[in-house]
Chains A and B, each alone.
Chain A
Amino acid sequence: MEAKKTKKQSINIASGAITWKAIKKQKELVLLSIPFVAYVLLFCYVPLLGWIMAFQNYKPGLGFLHSKFIGLDKFKFLFVDNPDFLRVIRNTLAMGVINLVLSFAFAIAFALILNEVVHKAPKKFVQTVSYLPHFLSMIIVCGILQDVLSIDHGIVNEILVKLHVLKEPINFLTYKSLFWWIVGFTNVWKETGWNSIIYIAAITAINPDLYDSAAIDGAGRFRKMWHITLPGIKPTIFILLLINIGNVLNAGFEIQYLLTNGMVQSVSQTIDIYVLKFGISQCDYSLGTAAGIFKSVVSIILIFLANSAAKAAGEERLF
């Protein structure tokens, strides 16, 4: 303490150069950040050492040290020898994009609509009810879904038959053409309420004066929505979009895993399921790791692309 008081040097941090002096000056901050850096190193970077498996013919009995190096053979197996994996990538991307678009559209629309409800009590009620499915685990959601879509007196079949849309009940989960949409709309059902929270919060931060002045200019509800609310939450939308684009390949595991069956497996398998199937079930850890690496690399590329697109458009961005 004594020394610090006497030294009173001003260090120009903005210059960007990290000097010992700067570090000494901020030693409390540095100390405070050590646990977090250690956390990230330990749990996010050290496990990356496992990537070495992708370039070995890894056998748990031999370990890293004694397993044979095979170069890029596993990647070759994925992309050249095995047409399955390309189909798996297609499925993952398709479901990821469907999920992204649907979840954005529905969450924003829901937030806008809810914002128009004037009475507090029904608004709170609707909002709370809409969150609830988020807290159900996927296995329960899939159980509900199987009952709802069941050919054996499931409610969807009953309604469609009564409305004469269908002649007789059909087994929805066996149609390849429907699978992606079933997954997408299940996610909408489960997550719309939860995803809209952040938009509703952003909407409340919009200056109410804007609405009043728009009303004086003769703007109706839809004009206000279009010209004030949406632009008001645009930065939020962009940031979330950027974050979620990196997640496109995380199109899900549980729902596809739980709903799949032999007849739709060609459209239901995602990269995660593929990794589980080869990496864990067949004990080909190397192949599983290779598929995982591919997924990470694509995700990073997607994030960078989206970020620079946002930068070019002059919108909010991550970095």
Chain B
Amino acid sequence: MKKQIFAVLSSAAIISSLLAGCGGNSSQSGASSSASSSASASSEGSKQIKEFTAFFDRQGSELNQDNEIQQIIAEKIGAKCKETWLTGQTAEEAVGMYIASGEYPDFMNWTPQLQEAGALVAIDEYLDKYPNIKNFWSESQWNSLRQADGHIYSIPQFGKINIKAMDTQQNGEAFWIQTRVLKWANYPKVESLDQLFDLLEKYYAANPTMPDGSSVIPFEILAYDWYYFCLENPPQFLDGYPNNGRCIVDPKTYLVSDYNITPTAKRYFKKLNEEYKKGIIDPEFMTMNHDQFLEKIASGRVLCMVEQHWDFATAEDSIKSQKLEGCTYVPLGITIEPGMKEMYYVSGESATLSGGLSITKSCKDVEGALKFVNDLLDPEIVTLRSWGVEGKDYLVDENGLFYRTDEMRENAVNADYKASHLCSYSYFPNYGGMNPDGKNAATPDTQPSEFFNGLRPEVQECLTAYGAKTYVEMLDNNVIDGKDQPWYPMWSFVGTMTSETPGGLAWTKMEETKKQYLPQVVVANDFEKEWSTYLEAYKKCKPEDFFAEVQEAVYNRIKLVWGKDVRPKS
């Protein structure tokens, strides 16, 4: 009898919990249910914390459940967000899966597919209520974000320069080389592609192995998924152009051109081909995925590569915490001929924006979500996100300047510490340049006093040898004012294209073709033959369709910012 009662009770409990689950989905769920219960909770004195969810289509590391700074922020602003990142799939697949299911996390990175699927919530009507968000970008920058229906659906997170640029680290693309190579050659001047590979060959001949006996990889190329820009886009930099990403834009004539087929592109790939045959390039580069790539970097075996710094920063942190001597990287501004002007490092705020953080229609509490983003831009919270907790992660001197001890610096690159303690909410809007207090830099890495002391001695020695105080000073300093070159960067436009238009379809095919043929060109026995096969396949993709649409977009952006039409009269 007792058993029966127990069985009935337990099954009733299971059923009711199932029903509760269903009910939650249809009528009230997530944030709103916790919000409604907050009234009763707050009467007991403890504040109910709203929990949001976010998915970002990037590689990232998840924070621990009980992350300390996340908790501190949650208590201060009454909300937190569980961030998840790509695991295994590509960005497009992950987003496509969300669209297919029709259920989204509260926050996502804007993509044209999400926009088209009607998955996003327009935020322009709310903006006036949230001054921190509203003032994050200027009126004209907000206007550049308007979609075809006239509404704004995203808040670009990056590129905001508060007060003035303070960059010390080259976050973008460069040829990155380990300091030990430069030191071994007594810090020579390395300007051209030929000089660089010459140096790598000589160093490799003299030092073929690591201290632990594993072999050194003189040059690495990441050719996986969309990260294959490391293989395909250097020709634009080698010719001295900035990272428009998908094309070259002539700043005088506003004409768009294709860097894939320039003589420089051919010379660059021919050089890679020669070096591959000499065994200088990793023979596994074309089969390696992104994780394997980071693993190789973290092992310290890779002497040199083309990469954007943000993408291998975690691997470099691992090199730092393992204390591998001379294995951290400095950027080189390599050009095709020595003595050319290069534009790897560019500062300046873009006048036209695209993409960014979006709120999805699955979010039950849009105003709560916007308040969360708004509160994250609060000066106090900004400091918590970028610097950490005073006394634990940084100290303040008598002038109000932040500084760190060696132990704090080591903590900041330790993966365990980062997961359990630090919480930067990195894909929510971030200030660059200066901290809102106007005294300190936005992040520890950009604090001038803090930055140089925080470097490993080998890097200090290397920078000093080249007369530089920061990574950025290793490169030419370029400023592109968004007002002067409103189209920059064009990759932000290409990111909004879909295969619906002829240009977008051409772009999909061009990418496919480049992914397939460029590795083949690099490993080819007969370079000339493979190169012409590639060019033939490339021409079949109708790149002219793509560049016509990009050209149109350049004119549109110019019109948006300058208010005049610069199209050639025909």
Within the assembled complex, what's the spacing in Å between the Cα atoms of A61 and B92? 18
**Could you tell me the distance between the alpha carbons of A61 and B519 in the complex, rounded to whole angstroms?**
38
**A173 near B287: Cβ-Cβ < 8 Å:** yes
Stretch from A20-28, A208-216, A280-288 forming part of the interface with B: A280-288
Q: Does A200 contact B (CB under 8 A)?
A: no
Complex Cα spacing A173 to B523, Å: 13
Give chain B residues whose Cβ lies under 8 Å from the Cβ of A315.
Answer: none
Q: Contact flags (1/0) for B264-307 with A, using CB distance below 8 Å? A: 00000000000000000001101100000000000000000000
Stretch at the interface among A122-130, A235-243, A258-266: A258-266
B-chain residues with CB within 8 Å of residue A261 when the two chains form the complex: 223-224, 286-287, 519
Stretch at the interface among B112-120, B159-167, B321-329: B112-120
Contact status B92-A263, CB under 8 Å: no
State the CA gap A151–B284 with chains docked (Å): 7
Complex Cα–Cα for A287 and B517 (A):
25
Task: Determine if A283 and B113 form an interchain contact, defined as CB atoms under 8 angstroms apart.
Answer: yes
A115 part of interface (Cβ distance < 8 Å): no
Name the B residues within 8 Å of A281 (CB-CB).
90, 92-93, 96
Q: How far is the CA of A268 from the CA of B117 in the complex (A)?
A: 30
A263 to B117, CA, bound (A): 33
List which A268-288 residues lie within 8 A (CB) of chain B. Answer: 276, 279-285
Q: Which of B97-105, B235-243, B420-428, B483-491 contacts A (4 or more CB under 8 A)?
A: B97-105
Instruction: Establish whether residues A283 and B117, one from each chain, have CB atoms under 8 Å apart when the complex forms.
Output: yes
Interchain CB contact (< 8 A) of B516 among A59, A266, A282: A266
Q: Are A150 and B100 in contact (CB under 8 A)?
A: no
Give Cα distance in the complex from A285 to B102, angstroms.
13
Task: List, in ascending order, chain B residues with CB within 8 A of A186's CB.
Answer: none
CB–CB A284/B499 < 8 A: yes
**Interface check A174, CB cutoff 8 A:** yes
Chain A's closest residue to B514 (CB) is A262
Given contacts A173-B287, A261-B287, contact A283 B228 (CB under 8 A): no
B residues in contact with A71, CB < 8 Å: none
**Does A60 lie within 8 Å of B102, measured CB to CB?**
yes
Q: Does A19 contact B (CB under 8 A)?
A: no
Which partner residue on chain B sits nearest A266 by CB separation?
Answer: B516
For B499, list chain A residues within 8 Å (CB).
282, 284
Cβ–Cβ contact B284 & A283, under 8 A: no
CB distance from A157 to the nearest CB of B (A): 11
Q: Which of A176-219 contact B (CB under 8 A)?
A: none
Assembled-state Cα–Cα distance A32/B214 (Å): 66
- Shortest Cβ distance from A175 into chain B, in angstroms? 11
Cβ of A280 and Cβ of B117 under 8 Å apart? Answer: no
Contact A283 B515 (CB under 8 A): no
B508 within 8 A of A: yes
Shortest C-beta distance, A55 to chain B (Å), equals 18
What residues of chain B lie closer than 8 Å to A62, measured between beta carbons?
Answer: 118
Q: A282: shortest Cβ distance to chain B, in Å?
A: 5
Bound CA span A194–B362, Å: 44
Chain B nearest CB: distance from A56 CB in Å? 14
Q: A276-B93, A280-B93 are in contact. Are A171 and B516 (CB under 8 A)?
A: no
Q: Which residue of B lies closest to A281 (CB)?
A: B92
Contact A60 B99 (CB under 8 A): yes
Cβ B116 vs Cβ A59 within 8 A: yes
Is A250 an interface residue, CB under 8 A from the partner? Answer: no
Residue from B93, B215, B283, B520 in contact with A263 in the complex, judged by beta carbons closer than 8 Å: B520
Please report which residues of chain A, range 108-129, place their CB below 8 angstroms from some CB of chain B when the two chains form the complex.
Answer: none
Chain B stretch 501-530: residues in CB contact (< 8 A) with chain A: 508, 512, 515-520, 523
Q: Which residues of A contact B286 (CB under 8 A)?
A: 171, 174, 261-263
Interface centre among A262, A263, A279 (most CB of B within 10 A): A262
Given contacts A262-B516, A263-B286, contact A280 B100 (CB under 8 A): yes
**Inside 8 A of A151's CB, which chain B residues have their CB?**
283-284
**Which residue of B102, B113, B523 is within 8 Å of A174 (Cβ)?**
B523
Are B515 and A265 neighbours in the complex by a CB distance under 8 Å?
Answer: yes
Which residues in A have their C-beta under 8 angstroms from that of B223? 261-262
Which A residues are in CB contact (< 8 Å) with B516? 262-263, 265-266
Which chain B positions have C-beta within 8 A of A247? none
In this complex, which of B116, B284, B517 has the most chain A Cβ atoms within 10 angstroms of its Cβ? Answer: B284
Given the interface contacts A262-B516, A263-B519, A280-B97, does A171 sit within 8 Å of B117 by beta carbon? no
Find out whether the CB atom of A262 lies under 8 angstroms from the CB atom of B515: yes
Known contacts being A61-B117, A151-B283, A280-B100, is A262 close to B93, with CB within 8 Å?
no
Mark interface residues in A59-100 (1 if CB within 8 Å of B CB, else 0). Answer: 111100000000000000000000000000000000000000
B520: A residues at CB distance < 8 A: 262-263
Whether A262 contacts B519 in the complex (CB less than 8 A), given A61-B116, A282-B92, comes out as yes
Bound Cα distance A279, B100 (Å):
9
The reply on A299 being an interface residue by CB < 8 A is: no
User: Whole-angstrom distance between the alpha carbons of A151 and B515 in the complex?
Assistant: 21
Which residue of chain A has its CB nearest to the CB of B504? A282
Instruction: Beyond A60-B118, A151-B283, A283-B117, list 13 extra A-B contacts (CB 8 Å).
Output: A60-B102, A60-B119, A152-B215, A152-B283, A171-B286, A173-B287, A261-B224, A262-B223, A262-B516, A265-B515, A282-B113, A282-B508, A283-B99
A positions within 8 Å CB-CB of B: 59-62, 146, 150-152, 169, 171, 173-174, 261-263, 265-266, 276, 279-285
6 CB < 8 A contacts A-B: A59-B117, A61-B119, A261-B223, A263-B520, A280-B96, A285-B100
For the complex of A and B, 6 pairs with smallest distance between CB atoms: A61-B118, A280-B96, A281-B92, A60-B117, A262-B515, A283-B113
Q: Enumerate chain B interface residues (CB-CB to A < 8 A).
A: 90, 92-93, 96-97, 99-100, 102, 113, 116-119, 215, 223-224, 228, 283-284, 286-287, 498-499, 508, 512, 515-520, 523
